[in-house]
Structure 1
Amino acid sequence: MLEILNVAMRFFTWGFATYRWGKRREEFMLLLSIALWTDSLAALSQRQILSDLGWSPNPASLIALLPALAVFEAFFFVVASLFLLERLQTLRGQLLLLACAIAGPTYVLLAVLLSMSSTLTLAFPIPFLGVSLMFLGYSLIKEEMSLKTLSTLFPIGAFLLGVINLTYPVTIKTALAGYFYGLGAVFRAMMFIGMFKYAVWPIKPPKKFMTELRPGAFYTTDMKVFKILVQKMQSSGNGILITRNPLKGMKPRFPVFWVTRATSGQLDENIMAISPTDIGILIDLIKRYLRKGHSLVVIDCFEYLMIENGFENSLKFLLSLKDTTVKYDGTLITIIETSAYPKKHLAMLRRELEGLEL
């Protein structure tokens, strides 16, 4: 029964990934869908699963099939990961891809030509698959899936499943093998739930694009400007607000990050509470919305972040946010209270941010 559930979860996970690709036409989801389809076929190349399904193929015909599918699957996981990390255009990324393309198929071919045992034949492909799953999990958490949502179960499950695959040469002939198989089923269930959440409730792109704000990083001391910006974001559905004060009397049509210690996590469709010390996570979350087409980032709580993290760390956050926003041709606007800063700190902010004129 566990084997049948294993196969079903693989196919459903692939189905949700393909559904997401069909809706969004995201290149990395196409690569991930191909890898997950191969993963589903790999399940049907295992003798125990085929036996439970009532099939009894010649075991000799399966010896090369599973390792071949494993290296093919691992290759596409690596490609998807490099794409997410924007490393496909770099020399290191291309060399890594070349090494994977050469090493995997070459090992499988040599294993078949030298008539290696099934254990030796899988001694490289399965750990290779494990490393690729760990790489995928890391890449998705870093670039795409929030740690604060259910969708993060997919990369976490993939990473943990990769760890199990990595132990294959050592544990396959031990009493631990059965326990690891059960853990693998748990991690695949995590991947299934995470992909379901990610496919059905994706980050929404903005309804409209703003053309009146030029790209760059700006500051203003005028709260009237802040109210105008909020109105623009509400009417267009375009923009990301980082605030200390949740918007009252308004159901935002744009993502709002409420910086607070009172609570955390998703509070509403477009409102997420986040700790003021989680500024690294906040950068990653904002980056995901910028990648989806949002072009305006407004922050009205820099002084609060400065209290919680110190001026130096808060400035590093602001500069990282500036670089990220400009990279995607967006506009960063910071609302500041000049009386809250020593002259030296205020001069540093003005050196990095232009005065805003609407």
Structure 2
Amino acid sequence: MNFVPIVEFESDETYEEIPAGIYLCKVEECYPAFLKLLKGRAGVIISRISPDTLRKNFKLEKTPVLWLTKIEGKSTIHPHRLEFLLHTLVNFMKKNKNPKVVLFDGLEYLVLENGFIPVFKFLTALKDYAVMNNTIIVVPIKEEIFDTRELSILKREFGELKL
């Protein structure tokens, strides 16, 4: 899959100055935060929610959406294909030097399908590419789903999004 970075919402406002990297946030806060960060930035969404539903709910026309699902189809990705997902996102980030934002909604699903350690390694690699390529990655998280050790590891490696 090859996504072209396109700015969904042009804005005269300066966008939020947040260092590139991965940020965890509460599920209910992430979509509004992503939409705020999307102003003046190209973005992409990875989600368990279907692309049509996301586009309708958030009035998105240009922003690419990848659906994490075991069903084959256009704009879908199987949850076991972490390497392919990483490659797809890295290609998006490297397209140009302009700031970008990614909403990565599906962490718990990937952990259920792949285990915590492979997904954590995937996220740390993704974070490194994000830092190198001027990209903010927003990851919704339900803390109660993770055990204390896993949650501590996630919070130590990734910041908490505060807008």
Q: Retained in 1: the 8 A contact 2:5–2:43?
A: no
Q: Retained in 2: the 8 A contact 1:215–1:329?
A: yes
Structure 2 residue corresponding to 1:296, chosen from 84, 88, 101: 101
Distance 1:231 1:263, change over 3 A: farther
Structure 2 residue corresponding to 1:216, chosen from 16, 21, 25: 21
Corresponding residue for 2:162?
357
- Larger RCO, structures 1/2 (Cα 8 Å, 6+ apart): 2
Give yes or no for the alignment of 1:242 onto 2:46: yes
Corresponding residue for 2:35?
230
Distance 1:339 1:352, change over 3 A: same
Corresponding residue for 1:262?
71
Corresponding residue for 1:13?
none
Q: Retained in 2: the 8 A contact 1:237–1:254?
A: no
Runs of at least 5 residues in structure 2 that lack an aligned partner in the other structure: none
- 1:204 shift after superposition: 2.7
Cα distance in structure 2, aligned partners of 1:203 and 1:217: 20
Distance 1:329 1:261, change over 3 A: same
Structure 1 stretch displaced more, 306-315 or 324-333: 324-333
- 1:251 shift after superposition: 4.5
Corresponding residue for 1:317?
122
Deviation string, structure 1 residues 201-221 (Cα, Å, up to 9, x no partner): x74332359731332221111
Look up the SS of the partner of 2:150 in the other structure: helix
Runs of at least 5 residues in structure 1 that lack an aligned partner in the other structure: 1-145, 147-201, 267-271
Corresponding residue for 1:274?
77
What's the TM-score, normalizing by structure 1? 0.39
Map 1:100-115 to 2 at 5 A.
Answer: none
Distance 1:222 1:324, change over 3 A: same
Return the index of the structure with the highest Cα Rg: 1
The one-letter amino acid paired with 1:346 is L
RMSD (Å) for aligned C-alpha atoms: 2.2
The one-letter amino acid paired with 2:63 is F
Corresponding residue for 1:331?
136
Give yes or no for the alignment of 1:206 onto 2:6: yes
Cα distance in structure 2, aligned partners of 1:237 and 1:355: 20
Equivalent pairs: percent with the same residue?
25
